[in-house]
Structure 1
Amino acid sequence: MNDPERAMLLSVHPRFATAILAGSKTVEVRRQRVAAAPGTTVLLYATAPTMALVGMARIASVHVASPKEVWSAHRTQTGITRREYDAYMSGAAQASGLTLADPVSFNEPVTLRALRTKGTFHPPQSYRYMKGDDLRQVAEAGPVVVRALRGALGDLVPT
């Protein structure tokens, strides 16, 4: 069951953020088990050189299996080559394929600098979950985020 007061903050390279938001990359792969329920809101943080929240999506499903099984099931949806996948998964015993749906691009990306003006904000290496105060802090950093999050999370986010 989805926790309506929780969102995932997902760090991705700018090229992958662009592909997710364009709908050409629908599966994001991770080296560890991801235990996020379908329906979870995902905030996309594009890493350097962009360094900004650029949009959001929703987790439609999570496939946890061996790296080989995740590749076999989702290779055409990952937006990466087999060589890139193998290099990323080297040494991993498990992999997660997060199927993302309903991508929304923010008209104005919310920069790391803006996020930090509202408190301490540290983009995760991979991902982290955000609740209550963390989500309010992010929403206060940019009006575009407030509108998007209110649509996804309702009254949790201030107007």
Structure 2
Amino acid sequence: MNDPERAMLLSVHPRFATAILAGSKTVEVRRQRVAAPPGTPVLLYATAPTMAIVGAARIASVQVASPREVWSTSRTRAGISRREYDAYMSGASRASGLTLADPVTFQEPVPLTALRAIGTFHPPQSYRYVKQIDLRQMAEAAPNGVDEALRDLLGDLVPA
């Protein structure tokens, strides 16, 4: 994924989105392999009941290893208990630990209703990559135009 016109859209539970944006959760774990280079922008979609893009961060690094290895290196930064982690990873042979940096909270979240009003937006089950055209639609859906934090993170990928 060396496409400079792509960002990642990551679905997370609202409590994890809050913790990521507060800086207390710096590693997001996933059951599947994630191949994204450091520096990739990540948009945080908070699932129900929030149902909005609430902020963003950048990928600092990605660890792909066994669930045991990922837990060993990220347990103090993952924002979940060992029990929650084990339940989530049950049956997985590989895991990814995405180290996130530079979190920014949007002043006004971009709600799912607004995203769907301008296109056929579907939040991902886990994550998906978004291209420049998707980012433009997200910018159009923003309540008061593009959030300054989003512009700072995505630079030329979003319209002025």
Per the TM superposition, whether the score is higher than 0.5 is: yes
Q: 1:69-108 alignment to 2 at 5 Å?
A: 69-108=69-108
1:71–1:140 CA distance, 2 compared to 1 (3 A): same
1:125–1:156 CA distance, 2 compared to 1 (3 A): same
What is the distance in 2 between the residues matched to 1:147 and 1:117?
22
What is the distance in 2 between the residues matched to 1:28 and 1:37?
15
Give the structure-2-normalised TM-score. 0.95
Query: Is structure 2 residue 34 aligned with structure 1 residue 34?
Result: yes
Q: Secondary structure at the match of 1:102?
A: strand
1:53–1:145 CA distance, 2 compared to 1 (3 A): farther
Post-superposition CA distance 1:28-79 (Å, at most 9, x none):
0000000000000000000000000000000000000000000000000000
Find runs of 4+ consecutive structure 1 residues off by over 2 angstroms. Answer: 1-4, 143-150, 152-156
Query: Is structure 2 residue 134 aligned with structure 1 residue 134?
Result: yes
Structure with greater helix percent: 1
Would you say the 8 A contact 1:25–1:77 is kept in 2? Answer: yes
- Corresponding residue for 1:157? 158
Of residues 136-145 and 67-76 in structure 1, the stretch that sits farther from structure 2 once superposed is 136-145
Q: Which amino acid aligns with 1:149?
A: L
The CA deviation at 1:156 is 2.4
Give the structure-1-normalised TM-score. 0.95
What is the distance in 2 between the residues matched to 1:120 and 1:148?
24
- Percent of pairs with identical residues: 81
Q: How many matched pairs?
A: 159
Would you say the 8 A contact 1:53–1:109 is kept in 2? Answer: yes
What is the distance in 2 between the residues matched to 1:144 and 1:93?
42
Q: Which amino acid aligns with 1:125?
A: Q
Gap runs ≥5 in structure 2: none
Post-superposition CA distance 1:85-112 (Å, at most 9, x none):
0000000000000000000001111110
The CA deviation at 1:151 is 1.7
Would you say the 8 A contact 1:4–1:153 is kept in 2? Answer: no
What is the distance in 1 between the residues matched to 2:149 and 2:105?
9
Q: Secondary structure at the match of 1:91?
A: coil
- Corresponding residue for 1:50? 50
Gap runs ≥5 in structure 1: none
